[in-house]
Chains A and B, each alone.
Chain A
Amino acid sequence: EVQLVDSGGGLVQPGGSLRLSCAASGFTFSSYNMNWVRQAPGKGLEWVSYISSGGTTIYYADSVKGRFTISRDNAKNSLFLQVNSLRDEDTAVYYCARVDPRGDGGYVWDYWGQGTLVTVSS
């Protein structure tokens, strides 16, 4: 069974840092591209960052570029998001999501973690 378990969230002051983790199981993690997506309280979904299966291709949303760093450890089946210089507007539930190649269906986000809440407040 495919499982993604998000962790590492918490309460942090503005300007602070956290390291979010996503533990993967039930599939060959090293073969899949991955994303981080966030959702502010009561708001919609916002894509945050993407990393290819081998870690060589990385993208960020403009809203987090220069402050967040995505990485992965394929030997440990884990995805990470280092979040620095946090702002009030970064308060959100952060989800990891697997990207599954579907041939002519494109690259589909089929499994998501349960999310981890980051609260930025003084």
Chain B
Amino acid sequence: DIQMTQSPSTLSASVGDRVTITCRASQSISSWLAWYQQKPGKAPKLLIYKASSLESGVPSRFSGSGSGTEFTLTISSLQPDDFATYYCQQYNSFPWTFGQGTKVEIK
């Protein structure tokens, strides 16, 4: 199975900050990586697919980059609605696997 490792596990930031979350795969997954945002009690919401493609309706302050084994999610200017937990997911091969999550908290 492909292991996905996110860092950091928790991130404290202020509104307006630039935030970067890293996701590493245990083997190459090309660009088959998605990023999701999840708020308490809600389903995950797709933000980015194929490592850098922005899902329709997602604000442009979200961006993704990377390929192979190392990927990043960047929020260019953190907004109050962005405080949530973020997960990466590889869809290169079964079993599809997720990172353990990064919680973005208010500083």
Of A13-21, A84-92, A108-116, the one touching chain B? A108-116
**B10 CB to closest chain A CB, in angstroms?**
13
B50 near A106 with CB under 8 A, answer yes
Chain A: residues with Cβ within 8 Å of the partner, total of 22
In the complex, whether B100 has a CB less than 8 A from a CB of chain A is: yes
Task: Let me know if A108 and B46 touch, CB within 8 A.
Answer: yes
User: How many cross-chain pairs have Cβ atoms below 8 Å apart between A and B?
Assistant: 56
Contact B43 A46 (CB under 8 A): no
Give residues in B with beta carbon < 8 Å to A: 32, 34, 36, 38, 42-46, 49-50, 53, 55, 87, 89, 91, 94-101
Would you mind naming 16 contact pairs between A and B with Cβ atoms under 8 Å apart?
Answer: A44-B87, A44-B99, A44-B100, A45-B89, A47-B95, A59-B95, A62-B95, A102-B50, A106-B49, A106-B50, A108-B34, A108-B46, A109-B46, A109-B91, A110-B46, A115-B43
